[in-house]
A and B are shown apart, each in its own frame.
Chain A
Amino acid sequence: MTQPLANLLMRLAAAVMPERRRDWAAGMRAELFTIQPPRDALAFAAGCVLAACQQRISPVRIALTLGRFGVTAVTLLTAGLHIAFLGYWVAIINNLKTQGMNGWVGRFPIFKGLTAEEALAGIGLLPVWHVGALVAMTAAFTACAWLLAHRRFRALGATALGGLAVNTANAVAMKATGGPYLVHHEIAWLYGLAFILLVLTAMVFAAAERGLFRKTATLA
């Protein structure tokens, strides 16, 4: 019973072993004929399955993939929150235009005592460049998530740098001009940090994958 099981495991090891390592799998199998007692053969064969799996699976590659998808998920969540935030304001404007102060927006304390026209005029005081900057940063987060998922690290770095530039310009302009804004200029550093982390992510993953592929090419 033990010997057939060892043979079966060795066949599994040969099947798992990458094509370029087939000689090694055959070498492992040949060793089975010399191993006594059968229990040792079974342990040897089980180890060979692990060795074959190790050749197939690279822990570094798995860690890189998990890390990349982790950062992608966080970036996508950030983008989603911003899309929801902007969509919320579009819904507010739409509700004011269609239902006036009788809609759900009419119950907002900030619009208390105002007519729909006055509320819309208040929203209209938001600078176009500020709204444009928020839309651009939201688009940048979305693009960063897509680029990261597709391993386009150079484009990711460029997009994150673009987002950082827009955020910096927006923060400086907000501080200089004053006025109604959708976000406070003091949280600009948080956006800046997010974009800087994305630039660093692009650099780290590009370097890590370049090293990994170079190693793989050398081994092949």
Chain B
Amino acid sequence: MTRPPNISRQTLTVLAALFAQPQAWRYGYDLSKETGLKSGTLYPLLIRLSDQGLLEAEWRQPLQPGRPPRHAYRLTDAGAALARQRAIAAHDAVGHLAPTREAVG
């Protein structure tokens, strides 16, 4: 059995936010607001995910005229697979914890 890679809580938060709408292109500031992560934490995570081939980025034309194009991000297939795997693992962990809590309570 292969051991899953260590992923920080912040990375999991970003993965979960991106995986909530896997096909949608998301922007840095919106992700920052949604995840509660400051830009100083969020962007290094996004850059690392992109380096690992888990995130793709592209320039999107703005909806409002007169504004510059925005850098947008979404999960690649590999990123979506990892996010799905982590979501299942988190769900299983909660499932294992539930009876314990009942027993304690």
Interface residues of A (CB under 8 A from B): 21, 23-24, 26-31, 33-35, 43-51, 54-55, 218-219
Contacts and interface: CB of A to CB of B under 8 A. Distances in A.
Interface of B: 27-29, 32, 38-44, 46-47, 51, 57, 59, 67-71
B37 to A, nearest CB: 9
Contacts, number: 69
Contact of B43 (A30, A33, A51): A51
A10 to B, nearest CB: 10
A27 B70 contact: yes
Contacts of A27: 28, 57, 59, 70-71
A55 B69 CA distance: 23
Contacts of A29: 68
A34 B28 CA distance: 11
Nearest to A35: B29
A33 B39 contact: no
7 contacts: A23-B57, A30-B68, A44-B39, A45-B39, A46-B40, A47-B40, A50-B39
